[in-house]
């Protein structure tokens, strides 16, 4: 079989600085995800829908922890040729599976919290645990259906050079599906971003209107939680998607640019991808702030005796009736 020559424009240089950040993200994220897994397995099995969404988010994070070590080795330039092919076909796809599954489930979490606060006397279908399990299955099937062809479409053989990029392995069919995948995923990002931002805006507006409530401490805590979710979402995912489409078009040769512009776009893509995978570090923090059962389990395990006594009092329902009524809608946030 004949070998194909790679492009004369080498954009895959100077990757080593990125690997230090990837290693740090992997280390922090792996420890945080393992702790989150331990905490969720020690909570009661009668889960609310938000716990189901967060567990799916945790599952996606573990996929990312499998992919990052391979990416680090490849970017350092020390990967065997077969490992580089494996990275281009499999582990690189796992990174994007994590990204878009995370985006979708963060949107579901934001919608759930919005409905809990604004329509707390009514339970919608998306808030039912059974429906949450079903929609979670649909999400995984949909994302895998989009991403799996990138793993299974046959690749072409190319000469073994250290600076080859993953796009060089793709046949025309592979490049076309790659472009199609990126446009579909960008559409997923835009649509679910609308859900995240609108849901969080409605919650923030309602909480701000209740800033004079006598139970202001809970209001302020809920407001901080929502702002944390919104900020982490914007930081992690918006910069990457600003760069992704123009980079994909140049990568697939749909548009022609000079070598310097290609190199600049590649560096921008890799820099913003760092923000994208940093959700691996943010997610355990979100679990703590968004899941009351998660917080209680953490406090039971690591809290002081005074904190544990406080938790016991909370669980026994010793709060005043007004505080309990507000906690139904705010403490869940």
Q: What is the pLDDT of residues 209-218, one digit of tens each?
A: 776 666 667 7
* Total count of domains within the chain: 1
Residue 159 within any structural domain of the chain = yes
Is the Cβ–Cβ distance between 243 and 267 less than 8 Å? no
- CATH number, residue 236: 1.20.1070.10
pLDDT of residue 114: 83
pLDDT of residue 213: 67
Neighbours of 266 (CB within 10 A): 21
Q: Give percent above pLDDT 90 in the chain.
A: 38
Residue 303 within any structural domain of the chain = no
pLDDT of residue 60: 94
Residue 3 within any structural domain of the chain = no
pLDDT of residue 322: 32
Q: Please say if the pLDDT value at position 307 is more than 80.
A: no
pLDDT of residue 127: 75
Question: What is this structure's pTM?
Answer: 0.85
The rounded mean pLDDT for the chain is: 81
Residue 302 within any structural domain of the chain = no
From 65-79, 112-126, 132-146, the region with the lowest mean pLDDT: 112-126
Residue 296 within any structural domain of the chain = no
Residue 3 CA: distances (Å) to CA of 158, 161, 171, 275 = 5, 12, 13, 36
Residue 310 within any structural domain of the chain = no
Residue with tokens 């640019």: 257
Residue 328 within any structural domain of the chain = no
Burial (CB count <10 Å: 0-12, 13-18, 19+), residue 217:
exposed
Tell me the torsion sign for CA atoms 5, 174, 180, 276. negative
pLDDT digits (tens, 9 = 90+) for 84-134: 999 999 999 999 999 999 999 999 988 888 888 777 666 667 778 888 899
Who wins on pLDDT, 211 or 277? 277
Structural domain including 50 reads 16-290
Q: Please say if the pLDDT value at position 289 is more than 90.
A: no
Structure tokens at 303: 């809290």
- Label residue 44 by pLDDT band (50, 70, 90): low
Who wins on pLDDT, 46 or 290? 290
Structure tokens at 60: 């996606």
Residue 295 within any structural domain of the chain = no
Residue 82 CA: distances (Å) to CA of 72, 77, 163, 167 = 15, 13, 14, 15
Burial (CB count <10 Å: 0-12, 13-18, 19+), residue 137:
exposed
């Amino acid at each position: 079989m004949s070998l194909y020559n790679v492009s004369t424009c080498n954009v895959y240089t100077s990757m080593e600085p990125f690997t230090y950040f990837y290693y740090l993200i992997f280390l922090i994220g792996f420890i945080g995800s393992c702790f989150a897994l331990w905490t969720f397995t020690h909570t009661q099995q009668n889960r609310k829908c938000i716990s189901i969404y967060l567990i799916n988010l945790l599952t996606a994070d573990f996929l990312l922890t499998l992919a990052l070590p391979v990416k680090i080795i490849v970017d350092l330039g020390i990967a065997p040729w077969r490992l580089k092919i494996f990275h281009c076909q499999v582990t690189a796809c796992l990174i994007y599976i994590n990204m878009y599954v995370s985006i979708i489930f963060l949107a579901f979490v934001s919608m759930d919290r919005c409905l809990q606060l604004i329509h707390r006397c009514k339970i919608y279908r998306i808030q039912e645990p059974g429906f949450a399990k079903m929609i979670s299955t649909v999400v995984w099937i949909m994302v895998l259906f989009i991403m799996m062809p990138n793993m299974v479409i046959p690749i072409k053989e190319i000469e073994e050079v250290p600076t080859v990029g993953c796009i060089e392995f793709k046949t025309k069919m592979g490049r076309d599906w790659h472009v199609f995948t990126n446009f579909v995923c960008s559409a997923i990002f835009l649509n679910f971003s609308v859900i995240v931002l609108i849901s969080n805006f409605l919650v923030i507006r309602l909480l701000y209107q209740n800033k004079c409530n006598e139970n202001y401490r809970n209001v302020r805590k809920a407001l901080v939680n929502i702002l944390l979710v919104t900020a982490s979402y914007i930081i992690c995912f918006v910069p990457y998607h600003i760069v992704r489409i123009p980079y994909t078009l140049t990568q697939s040769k749909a548009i022609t640019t000079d070598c310097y512009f290609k190199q600049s776009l590649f560096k921008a893509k890799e820099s913003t991808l760092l923000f994208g995978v940093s959700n691996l570090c943010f997610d355990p923090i979100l679990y703590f702030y968004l899941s009351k059962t998660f917080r209680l389990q953490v406090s039971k395990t690591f809290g002081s005796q005074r904190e544990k006594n406080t938790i016991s009092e909370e669980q026994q329902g010793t709060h005043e009736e007004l505080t309990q009524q507000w906690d139904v809608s705010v403490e869940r946030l």
